């Protein structure tokens, strides 16, 4: 593994020898300021809405240029301290801190929707039984891969990746349930007809030529992954004492103690950085609590699978009176994952009328997770069901 990581870094550096050291976030911020000065004027404040990695750009911007801050929203917050001041591989442990909460939301919503609306639910399914069914599917795919090797139709890693991607956007939950059911059919039904199998494959592998005999089970483009490695590692601190064993020990700890469902993915770009050959020519490492020329809005979701609410709270707390926090009561990645009239109104007032909430606010959502004959399943109905289940569990038998 060490040899492979070093060779990857060498090839990337060989491919972009004159630009590789200039793709760090500090350079992005300086480019952004330069463009703004040309288009709007150097006397004008800069307005910015950053989502996910965009919050890293935003955190750098507001602290590198605190006197240039206009109306800024940081939404789905990556912890800048872990990004810039800690060994890069440690960010994964923080990133997936709420991913099991998101998955619990999916399992509860699916069980409430029932078999007519959620493809992996049965008549009396519970959140626990949906979770167990999914784990059994992952185990089945793992053993399928061990049995068939490169000829395997599906792998546990592919299923885990598809499921994790769906956690970002609850509007995709009915679809991912169908995908999981199709995976189960492919793994369980050895007598499925060729026509039916191709129908299943079209659901599971969108964009893949299912008439082809070529068994290409990946449609992922590595170019994006490696670009993000370049950016992440350009910003990362030098880690001369970090070994590949340290990285995998951390992944194992995350899988055991933080997120058993998604911790094993170890898809984070930071895992490459201890062998990455380049750091950015300019690295900003804080402070992260500058007093800003204008108060900004920080947004965090209650159950965000990749940027947990705690990171948004930590950033808002560090900024003190320079930030107002919106806590959105929903699942998914960033406030855009589920519609909230409350959040939309707050952002409209901020961007259009330059009016801030007078204090931190909590915003709910009524977006439908699964339609259901007995009443659509929303975050509120999931929370009520969970609360009722806890009350029932406390009753003496």
Q: Given this model, what pLDDT does residue 156 score?
A: 95
Q: Given this model, what pLDDT does residue 200 score?
A: 52
Contact (CB, 8 A) for 332 and 170: yes
Q: Can you spell out the DSSP letters for 262-328?
A: TGGG---GGGGGGG-S---SS-----S-PPPSS-EEEEEEEE-SSS-HHHHHHHHHHHGGGEEEEEE
CA distance 116 to 109: 13
Contact (CB, 8 A) for 136 and 151: no
Structure tokens at 130: 């949906």
| 70-109 confidence digits (pLDDT tens) | 999 999 999 999 999 999 999 999 999 999 999 999 999 9
SS3 state of residue 152: coil
Q: Given this model, what pLDDT does residue 385 score?
A: 87
Q: Given this model, what pLDDT does residue 189 score?
A: 75
CA distance 307 to 333: 7
CA distance 41 to 38: 6
Give the C-alpha distances (Å, rounded to integers) separating 350 from 52, 57, 357: 20, 20, 8
Q: Which domains does the chain have, with CATH numbers?
A: 45-85+285-363 (3.40.50.1820), 99-204 (no CATH)
Q: Which residues of the chain have pLDDT under 50?
A: 192-193, 195-196, 208-219
Structure letter (DSSP) for residue 365: -
Q: What is the largest CA-CA distance in the chain?
A: 72
- The CA-CA-CA angle for residues 108, 98, 223, to 5°, reads 110
Give the C-alpha distances (Å, rounded to integers) separating 297 from 55, 95, 200: 11, 21, 44
Q: Given this model, what pLDDT does residue 374 score?
A: 75
Q: Given this model, what pLDDT does residue 100 score?
A: 98
Q: Given this model, what pLDDT does residue 379 score?
A: 94
Could you report how far apart the first and last alpha carbons of the chain are, in Å?
A: 54
Q: Given this model, what pLDDT does residue 396 score?
A: 61
Give the C-alpha distances (Å, rounded to integers) separating 167 from 148, 164, 201: 29, 5, 21
Name the CA radius of gyration of the chain, rounded.
23
Structure letter (DSSP) for residue 237: P
The β-bridge partners of 164 are: none
Residue 366, Cβ neighbours under 10 Å: how many?
A: 14
Contact (CB, 8 A) for 318 and 311: no
């Amino acid at each position: 593994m060490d040899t492979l990581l070093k060779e990857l870094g060498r090839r990337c550096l060989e491919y972009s020898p004159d630009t590789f050291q200039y793709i760090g976030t500090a350079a992005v911020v300086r480019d952004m300021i330069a463009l703004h000065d040309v288009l709007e004027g150097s006397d004008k404040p800069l307005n910015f809405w950053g989502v996910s990695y965009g919050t890293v750009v935003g955190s750098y911007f507001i602290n590198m240029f605190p006197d240039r801050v206009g109306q800024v929203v940081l939404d789905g917050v990556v912890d800048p301290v872990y990004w810039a001041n800690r060994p890069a591989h440690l960010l994964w442990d923080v990133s997936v801190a709420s991913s099991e909460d998101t998955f619990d939301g999916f399992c509860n919503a699916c069980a409430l929707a029932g078999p007519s609306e959620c493809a992996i639910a049965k008549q009396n399914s519970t959140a626990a039984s949906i979770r167990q069914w999914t784990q059994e599917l992952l185990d089945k795919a793992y053993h399928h891969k061990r049995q068939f090797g490169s000829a395997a139709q599906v792998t546990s890693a592919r299923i885990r990746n598809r499921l994790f991607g769906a956690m970002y956007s609850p509007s995709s939950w009915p679809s991912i349930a169908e995908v999981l059911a199709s995976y189960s059919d492919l793994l369980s039904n050895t007598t499925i007809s060729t026509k039916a199998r191709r129908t299943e494959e079209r659901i599971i592998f969108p964009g893949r030529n299912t008439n082809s005999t070529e068994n290409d089970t990946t449609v992922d483009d590595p170019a994006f992954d490696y670009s993000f490695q370049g950016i992440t590692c350009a910003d990362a601190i030098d880690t001369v004492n970090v070994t590949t064993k340290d990285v995998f020990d951390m992944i194992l700890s995350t899988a055991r103690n933080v997120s058993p469902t998604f911790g094993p993915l170890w898809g984070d770009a930071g895992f490459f950085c201890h062998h990455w050959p380049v750091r950015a020519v300019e690295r900003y490492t804080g402070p992260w609590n500058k007093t800003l020329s204008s108060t900004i809005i920080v947004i965090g979701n209650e159950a965000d699978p990749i940027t947990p609410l705690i990171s948004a709270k930590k950033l808002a707390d560090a900024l003190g009176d320079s930030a107002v926090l919106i806590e959105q009561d929903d699942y998914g990645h960033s406030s855009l994952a589920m519609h909230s009239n409350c959040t939309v109104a707050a952002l409209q007032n901020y961007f259009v009328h330059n009016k801030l909430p007078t204090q931190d606010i909590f915003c709910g959502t009524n977006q439908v997770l699964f339609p259901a004959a007995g009443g659509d399943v929303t975050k509120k109905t999931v929370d009520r069901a969970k609360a009722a289940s806890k009350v029932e569990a406390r009753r003496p038998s």
